[in-house]
Structure 1
């Protein structure tokens, strides 16, 4: 049942492409998926591209997958140490009708609508509540650090590494990264 449902989820995801969301199962294990979400437009996360891993149980969709960011994310509802996400859709609010697209869409919305009353990251929750400017600065720095690390890992870098990438360039890189996930 789970394998068939995961195949249906993948087919649905490919048929109903959503800007800023992509996912596919690993080549070796249909129960382990890699995903990418782009930060929602007009948000502090806008220039970020975030990688996630979804691990589905044998009885999916009766139970939700475990989902974690593999990219560092500073957020009240994301554990800093391991990237696991604290969101109702993956816990008590789970319903078998949810599919991979619904999960990723909910996580993308969570980025801009955190719940600081149910924190996984207390520091982020307190900053979100008490010092929004510092909270936003930490997110901007985290995104910049991620971009810097990616640029340092690129063997094909141009000589002009100091150029700041705009949203279109980042989204183009995301498309390339999406293709590498689905191959």
Structure 2
């Protein structure tokens, strides 16, 4: 059979050394957006949940739970509008909240990002996770160096500012179960259902107690500590506190229970070697009692 360049008649493709592999722009954009979302999933921001839109790849839905401070107790929905020229754009994403919030950095529901990115968006330096960090910090540390009404009130009449902020918090809680955008990836919050949510919470607690989320428990430990910048050999024999969090169905506040670390038995050299090399201990429970009577 005659072979021609670019055909797969022999089971493989040949390409001319002068030709450059071209990848469609839409694929590059989708891969860049997927990488951004993966980064957020691997390194989540405390109190923030996001979900990419199904209908528009340049939109992320989000919700932030404020746990303390002037806006403590607030549950604010927002969306991130990503420039269509992403990831090579120099334009900043836009963060737009679902409701009006009386805040020094929020005008007409939109959070000002220019102060956090004074030189514009730099693809080689910035990420959407960084935008989420800015959203989080804006509710705990106020930059009031502007002449907005909220800034002036915060500087000159702090108690009045607190009163208005509290109204925003109460408003957010009153609409927490409202219908969201017509997008199957829109973040929906449901009232507490003990049959569903308590069961899910109990499963989370069980997972926290040692059920394997990775191929092996050793894989899980290595993954966790590598993200902390630690080698397994550095943490062998050390214990870390566990905690579980959920929301009080009445107060809608975060409830966290910390587990007291149990005293670990002194590690043998064999166990230390297993930990260092990621070797799981043998499970001998399936082996019958060899000392018992035979049939």
TM-score greater than 0.5 by the shorter chain: yes
Residue aligned with 1:67, SS: strand
1:126, distance to aligned residue in structure 2 (A): 1.1
1:89, distance to aligned residue in structure 2 (A): 3.2
In 1: Cα distance, 2:51 partner to 2:132 partner = 12
Partner of 2:101: 73
Q: Indicate the RMSD between aligned Cα atoms, in angstroms.
A: 2.7
Partner of 2:254: 168
Does the alignment pair 1:22 with 2:49? yes
1:109, distance to aligned residue in structure 2 (A): 0.5
CA distance 1:123–1:92, change in 2 (3 Å)? same
In 2: Cα distance, 1:150 partner to 1:136 partner = 21
Number of residue pairs matched by the alignment = 160
Q: Please give the TM-score of this superposition, normalised by the length of structure 1.
A: 0.74
Does the alignment pair 1:115 with 2:201? no
Residue aligned with 1:68, SS: strand
1:91, distance to aligned residue in structure 2 (A): 5.5
Q: Please give the TM-score of this superposition, normalised by the length of structure 2.
A: 0.48
Partner of 2:61: 34
Partner of 2:116: 89
1:7, distance to aligned residue in structure 2 (A): 0.7
Partner of 1:99: 127
In 1: Cα distance, 2:34 partner to 2:178 partner = 36
Taking CA–CA contacts closer than 8 Å with sequence separation of 6 or more, which of the two structures ends up with the larger relative contact order? 1
Partner of 2:168: 142
Partner of 1:131: 157
Kept after mapping to 1: 8 A contact 2:150/2:161 = yes
- State the Cα deviation string for residues 96-131 of structure 1 (Å, max 9, x = none): 222222101112101222222235xx2211111101
Kept after mapping to 1: 8 A contact 2:53/2:60 = yes
Runs of at least 5 residues in structure 1 that lack an aligned partner in the other structure: 170-183
In 2: Cα distance, 1:31 partner to 1:152 partner = 24
In 2: Cα distance, 1:21 partner to 1:98 partner = 19
Partner of 1:179: none
Runs of at least 5 residues in structure 2 that lack an aligned partner in the other structure: 1-27, 180-188, 194-248, 256-295
1:166, distance to aligned residue in structure 2 (A): 4.5
